[in-house]
Amino acid sequence: MPFPKILLPLAALQFCCALNAEPRIPADPEEVLATVPKNRVTQPATLTAADAQKLIARHIRQFRLQDDPRHLGLAKGVLQRFEKSGNKLTPSLLLERASILESEHAFTAALTDLAAVVKAQPGNAQAWLNAATIQRLQGNYAESLKSCQQVVDAGQANLGSSCKLLTESLTGNAQESYRQLSELAASESRRRSRDPNTESWYHAMLGDLAVRLGQPKLAERHYRQAIQLSPGRSYARRELSDLMLSQQRPQEAKALLNGKTTSDSFLLRTALANKQLGLPYSQQVDELTERYAAAGRRGNNTHSRDQALFSLKLQDDPKSAIKLAKQNWQTQREPVDMVILLESAIAAGDEDTKAQLLQWRKQHKLEDQRISTLLGAAND
């Protein structure tokens, strides 16, 4: 969701989905396998660097909006076509490739591309922002703050300040970060040239903070505001559906997901809602099993977080869940990753993992009411 001329980083939206699914032969010849993504762009016969950058950026933007992995596949296709022609990647294209790598959880490679961008263009705020986001989700908070400061130095004061606040919220300053981020959101809403996508992003991030602070009603208001400002964007819908499911409100969660099962994360939550409703969910389980297996054959590990949730909640298999959650924790260390790993560790009786997570929480002063609730329930 863009600030003026700046795209918010992909990892900030925590997307996780399948790429290039394996072929499947339908039993029913009348079955509709897929619909062509909207806004698909016709590629010119000869791709210039500017053409390629424009096309890739558009597909990535649609991917962020819809959580539809086909758009990311289209972005990769444009990039591959340009590279196969023997063309050298410009800083702008390196930035786009970093976004694609980031979405595939190839974080080291993404950071390498971003380092090349800022070496060529030290004032590239978008590159510094993306680097800060990756460093934050890896738990490398000191480096993330340094990159956030570079965003400020590049002339994007509000964006850089927001970047810092999101990182500081993970190190014992969640309440103050919420307050200051709220002020920035209010400032954005008063802008003459206000951008609903930017406002939506602020409310989604404030919703996340409110969840961690143990204020679900406040979180819901923020998520609903984010959805109202940008109805087509999937992130706030997914997070609000998670909140509703945690409150045993499956009918509302299912309505919010609105049958959008192209997204693996939406399909998973639809199955969780059906389970809570006492409705059949085996079809969703079979489809998710197929999708996860296909991803595994491609070496795609972007599903580990949701797979852990799938194993724990839909398959009642805490041993598989904790294995997947540990795999995910090696790559991503956001609060939700810790919540899923801790819940899996408690279910599996893994006291060592539980102790390690509590040490991490103590070291970084992480505030998250979901963690406190899990620990309280485990000790009852």
75 within some domain: yes
Are 186 and 120 within one domain? no
Question: Does an H or E element contain 174, and which?
Answer: helix 174-189
Stretch 150-165: mean pLDDT: 96
Judged against a pLDDT cut of 90, whether residue 140 lies above it is answered with yes
Total tally of structural domains belonging to the chain? 3
Are 360 and 307 within one domain? yes
Give me the percent of the chain exceeding a pLDDT of 70: 86
Q: In whole angstroms, what is the distance from residue 357 CA to residue 374 CA?
A: 12
Judged against a pLDDT cut of 90, whether residue 374 lies above it is answered with yes
Are 51 and 146 within one domain? yes
CATH of the domain at 123: 1.25.40.10
Task: Note whether 308 and 328 are within 8 A (CB).
Answer: yes
Dump pLDDT digits (tens) for 51-76. Answer: 888 888 888 877 766 666 677 788 88
Dump pLDDT digits (tens) for 334-362. Answer: 999 999 999 999 999 999 999 999 999 99
Are 4 and 143 within one domain? yes
> Hunting for tokens 């961690």 — which residue is that?
212
pLDDT at 5: 42
Q: How far is CA 344 from CA 205, 287, 338, 355, 370, in A?
A: 25, 23, 10, 13, 14
Give me the percent of the chain exceeding a pLDDT of 90: 64
49 within some domain: yes
163 within some domain: no
Are 321 and 367 within one domain? yes
Q: Among candidates 372, 300, 315, 366, which has minimal Cα distance to 343?
A: 372
Judged against a pLDDT cut of 80, whether residue 20 lies above it is answered with no
Are 9 and 99 within one domain? yes
SS3 6: strand
As a dihedral over the C-alpha atoms of residue 240, residue 64, residue 144, residue 6, rounded to 10 degrees, the angle is: -120
Q: In whole angstroms, what is the distance from residue 120 CA to residue 127 CA?
A: 11
Are 146 and 6 within one domain? yes
pLDDT at 330: 94
238 within some domain: no
Are 184 and 325 within one domain? no
Dump pLDDT digits (tens) for 165-203. Answer: 999 999 999 999 999 999 999 998 888 778 898 999 999
Are 136 and 4 within one domain? yes
Judged against a pLDDT cut of 50, whether residue 307 lies above it is answered with yes
pLDDT at 19: 35
235 within some domain: no
204 within some domain: yes
Q: In whole angstroms, what is the distance from residue 187 CA to residue 200 CA?
A: 13
Stretch 294-308: mean pLDDT: 84
Are 4 and 111 within one domain? yes
pLDDT at 2: 34
pLDDT level of residue 48 (50, 70, 90 thresholds) = confident
* 325: number of Cβ within 10 Å: 29
Q: What residues make up the domain containing 286? A: 263-380
Top-confidence residue, 49 or 20 = 49
Q: How far is CA 163 from CA 12, 132, 138, 145, 166, in A?
A: 10, 7, 15, 8, 5
pLDDT at 336: 97
251 within some domain: no
Task: Note whether 314 and 272 are within 8 A (CB).
Answer: yes
The secondary structure of 29-73 as a DSSP string is TT-----PPTTPPPPPSS--HHHHHHHHHHHHHHHHHH--HHHHH
